Structure formats: structure tokens, C-alpha cells
Amino acid sequence: MKTASPPLVAPLVAPLVYVKLVFVTLFWGGTFIAGHIVAHALPVMTAAALRFAVAVALLLLVAWRREGGLPRLSRQQLLATAVLGLTGIFLYNLCFFGALGQMPAGRAALFIALNPVVTALAAAMLLRERLSAVKWLGIALAFAGAAIVITRGDPVAALHDISQSVGLGELLMLCAISSWAAYTLVGKSALKGLSPIAATTYAALWGLLFLTIGAAGSSAAVDWSTIGWQVWLGLGYLGAFGTVLGFVWYYEGVKAIGASRTAVFNNLVPVFGISLAALLLGEQVLASMVAGGVMVAAGVTLTNR
């Protein structure tokens, strides 16, 4: 009796997931270019609120198509998603757009590579999660690389005049990374009983509420007739590709190949960010950015092992 041949569909799943994850990092690298354009045309609060107006509309559609809508929240879940909205949406985007208004997009993209390292360090300090010697080495290597990027390759000189190396943009990006670390840690408890799509949609709704309240004053002063198509295109990109499609495909990767293997792809975000900034914005790529970026990527890889 002839045995049935195995299905041909399964082997094609993993390569498709890897392709999607590369595109996710491309989308996220592009957010620095779109954010740079938007941040120089609109007030910070207004820009962030418009981004998440687009994102919330699409997330609600995704939640309805994939899960039949949003579940009713318990009081604890309501509080947890509100904290997610405050940290990962409101504070992160406030710092993100603020930083891009002060510094080059490619330089800002390098900072974002520190996210997994700062999150691991915060988990060790606040949640008492144990870190191995290899992870501590990774953290030290990543922060050493970040110091090279921040000081433009001269950490010793920066100690004598720190204001010349660390400006408002750098401080805002460090605050953005800290906000995202808080979002990630709170998300561990918020996701209990909630799907990633539901938790993210509720967080985005809370974040949009906070941002809309904050943008009420600044939005009234905007001369909307002077806002060009590039800004509207940037906002659409940030909401659709940088937020919704990136999120959905990223969690498809987590489901298919696991969180650790998926997280390694985050190392491509600064690569795409720097490349796109040089190509589209004409920004200069410094040797210190390349050297520091490689060290940060190596440190993140060790920390994620």
C-alpha cells in the first residue's frame, strides 16, 4: 500500500515568517524617518495623537476580524492596560517624537537597540529575575557600545564636557527606552487572560485618550493648511506599518519560532534606520555609529541568549 506523502505546506511556513520579521524590522526602521518628518511639522502631542488615531482604527478592525471583538475587562485588567497606555503609548511617543525633533533619525535608531538590554536590567532590579554571567557581559557590552554612539566615539572627552555629547534628544531617547521597558514588564501581567491583540488595542485606546487630552491646546494652534502630503503620509505609515502591521507580524513570529529567536531580529531595526536615514534624509553615517551599533547588537544577542 502506497503511503501518503507529507504535506508541502508546513515547510513553507517558517521561511515566510522570517521574511515577515525582516519586513517588520524594516517598517520599524522606517518609523524614525517618518517620525523625523512629522516631528518637524507638528507639535509632539498632536503628532503622537494622530499616529494612534490611525493605529486604533486599524487595531479595532484587526481585533474584530481575528477575535470577534474586544473582551470585557476586569478591574485589574482595566488598570493594567491603562498603565500600558501611559508608559508604552503616551510617554514613549512623547519622548520618541520629542527626540526626533532634536537629533538625526539614524542616531536615534541606534538608541532603540538598547530596549531588550534595559528591559532585562529592569526585570533583574525590580522583579528579581536572575541574570547569568553571559547576560551581564551582554549588558555591559551593549552599554559600552551605546556610550561610543552617544559620545561620537570619544567617551573620555565627553566626561569633561558632557553637554556637548548628551543633549535633549539623547535624554529623550533614553526616557523612551525606559518607558518601553516599563511597558514590557507591565505587559507580562496584563497579558494574563488577554490576547496580545486585545491587550495592545486597549493600551492604544488608553494612550490615544491621554494623548488627545494632552494635544488639545497645541492642536488648536496648528495651521493645517500648511501641512504637506509628506506629513500625512508619514502619519499613515507610523499608524499602519510602524504600529499595526508590525505588531501583528511580530507576534506571528513569536507564535511560530518563539520569543527569543524573534527578538534577535530587533537588531536589524537600527541597521534599517541608519540606512534609510542616509538614503532618504541624506544623514551622515559616522564610524562611531557603526562601531557602537555593532557592539550594541552583540550585547543584545548575548543578553537574549
Task: Identify which of 101, 29, 102, 103 has the alpha carbon closest to the alpha carbon of residue 275.
Answer: 29
Cell triple for 200: 495592545
pLDDT above 60 for 157: no
DSSP label at 88? Answer: I
In the chain, what are the domain boundaries? Answer: 15-303
User: How much is the average pLDDT of 88-95?
Assistant: 92
Cα separation values, 134 from 92, 141, 264, 265, Å: 29, 10, 16, 20
pTM of the model: 0.80
Contact 245, 56 (CB under 8 A): no
What pLDDT band is residue 154 in, cutting at 50, 70 and 90? low
User: What is the rounded CA–CA span in Å between residue 90 and residue 296?
Assistant: 26
pLDDT tens across 280-303, in order? 888 887 777 788 778 777 877 777
Contact 172, 102 (CB under 8 A): yes
User: What is the rounded CA–CA span in Å between residue 96 and residue 244?
Assistant: 17
User: What is the rounded CA–CA span in Å between residue 205 and residue 212?
Assistant: 10
pLDDT tens across 106-134, in order? 888 878 777 777 777 777 777 777 778 88
What value does the CA radius of gyration of the chain take, rounded to a whole number of Å? 20
Look at residue 131 in the predicted model and tell me its pLDDT. 76
